[in-house]
Amino acid sequence: MKFPESLENLIKHFQLYPGIGPKTAERLALFTISKLSKESVNSFSKALIEAIEKIKHCDKCGSITDKDICDICNDQDRKEKLMVVENSKDIIAFEKTNAFHGKYHVLNGMISPLNGVGPDDININALFTRVKEENIKELIIALPSTIPGEMTCTYIQKMLENSGVLIYRIGYGLPVGADIEYADEITLIKALEGIKKL
Contact set with a second copy (CB under 8 A): 1-7, 9-10, 12-13, 16-19, 24, 26-34, 36, 38, 40-55, 64-67, 88-89, 91-92, 95-96
Q: Which is nearer to a second copy, 93 or 189 (CB)?
A: 93
State how far the Cα of 159 lies from the Cα of 92, in Å rounded to an integer: 27
Q: Which is nearer to a second copy, 28 or 159 (CB)?
A: 28
Helix axis angle for 22-34 and 5-14, nearest 10°, is 120
CB of 100 to a second copy, least distance (A): 11
State how far the Cα of 11 lies from the Cα of 23, in Å rounded to an integer: 9
From 61, 57, 59, 56, select the one nearest 127 (Cα to Cα): 61
CB of 58 to a second copy, least distance (A): 10
104: left (phi over 0), alpha (psi -120 to 50) or beta: beta
State how far the Cα of 6 lies from the Cα of 45, in Å rounded to an integer: 15
Q: Which is nearer to a second copy, 5 or 179 (CB)?
A: 5
Q: Which residues of 170-194 are buried (b: 16+ CB within 10 A; e: fewer)?
A: eebbeeeeeeeeeeeeebeebbeee
CB of 20 to a second copy, least distance (A): 8
Q: Which is nearer to a second copy, 124 or 160 (CB)?
A: 124
CB of 143 to a second copy, least distance (A): 18
Q: Residue 144, CB half-sphere, CA atoms under 13 Å: how many? A: 10
CB of 50 to a second copy, least distance (A): 5
Q: Which is nearer to a second copy, 52 or 195 (CB)?
A: 52
